[in-house]
Amino acid sequence: MIEKLAESKVQAISFFSGCGGLDIGTQMAGARIISTLDFEPATVETVKANEFFKFAEHNCADIRNVSGKDYSALLRSSNPDKLIIVGGPPCQPFSKAGYWITNEKRKAVDDERNMVGEYLRIIEEIRPDGFLLENVESILHPTNKAAVDYIEEKITRMGYHFVRILANALEYGIPQKRKRVLFLASKKPISGQPTKLAPEEVEKVSVLDWIGRFDKPELSENEESTEGKTYDYELSEIPPGHNYIALSARDNYPNPKFVANKRFWNFLLKLHPLQPSWTIAAQPGPWVGPFHWNNRRLRAQEVAAIQTFPMDYKFVGSRRIIQKQIGNAVPSLLGEKFVEHLIKFI
């Protein structure tokens, strides 16, 4: 597959590349990544460590210090027939954690953590044939209406047609309930969205099919054990597919340990092997799930598999840094589906 990419007439520049989840999907869709950019050194080292991106230059930089002119020489030498840009600008201003802020006080469009404007700026400077912008589901919350209006008006003013899609990764065969908003834009009219699985196929998606192969003693990690720690016993009492509420009066647990709805829903949350995973977090607390049904924390290989990274993909950094990289990534197969759809319209 990698050698076929060398001949691809569709090429891609990636921004906010992270550890490469979306970029893997972009190349799986047939577009050769010729450049990546991210602000975090560890993520740049991860992408560099993988032969999969041997055709790309990798830049560690702040997008605010980068302009379209910086890509002129690269584009002259690569000479793509078609060029796309892919990226998921940081989403902190649009997270659910900010819902308590009133509409009058919210400043998502102007928030210094909001790189959407910078992403659209560099797209306007480079003028690709099409682009993909990925963000969190909660950007569609009413408190973020100004941000969504800004994005859509800016895309239109730049002369692009677009579709906005709220996607649940599970509906595309990814073993994870993970909702994301994707804007697909092209200089040509664009419509529709990637084909979803039939409902009966979605019901068959199980996390066991993706991570079962990693449940071996020789693949264990020091960080996975909860033995002797605060809620080790409670975790062992929770049935697969449930959270702390299983140990509450609401679920008829004798001598209840917890009160229902008094904790975050993912507290002591445990995977069921025959069901999909919940969203993988980038920085989970010590007792935030999902946990493995065998009463342990998930291994890095398992977390990566749930995000549909290739089995041989290499990650650089400490266990905590690797978790952050994987949790922040776009599932690779989701990227593939949406970039494939975009390419049809450029």
Cα distance between residue 171 and residue 64, in whole Å: 35
Cα distance between residue 288 and residue 73, in whole Å: 46
In the beta sheet, which residues pair with residue 270?
Answer: 291
Cα distance between residue 269 and residue 242, in whole Å: 6
Cα distance between residue 338 and residue 189, in whole Å: 16
Q: Which of 91, 126, 181, 329 is catalytic?
A: 91
In the chain, the N- to C-terminal Cα span, in Å, equals: 22
Cα distance between residue 190 and residue 161, in whole Å: 6
Q: Catalytic annotation on 91?
A: yes
What would the DSSP string read from start to end of 116-183? HHHHHHHHHHH--SEEEEEEEGGGGSGGGHHHHHHHHHHHHHTT-EEEEEEEEGGGGT-SB--EEEEE
CB 200 within 8 A of CB 171: no
Q: Which two tokens stand for residue 58?
A: 């990798």
CB 183 within 8 A of CB 160: no
Helix axes 21-28, 332-343, angle to 10 degrees: 50
Torsion of CA 93, 96, 100, 106, to 10 degrees: 20
Cα distance between residue 290 and residue 302, in whole Å: 11
Q: Among 178, 177, 175, which Cα is nearest to 204's?
A: 175
Cα distance between residue 165 and residue 171, in whole Å: 13
Write out the catalytic residue numbers: 91
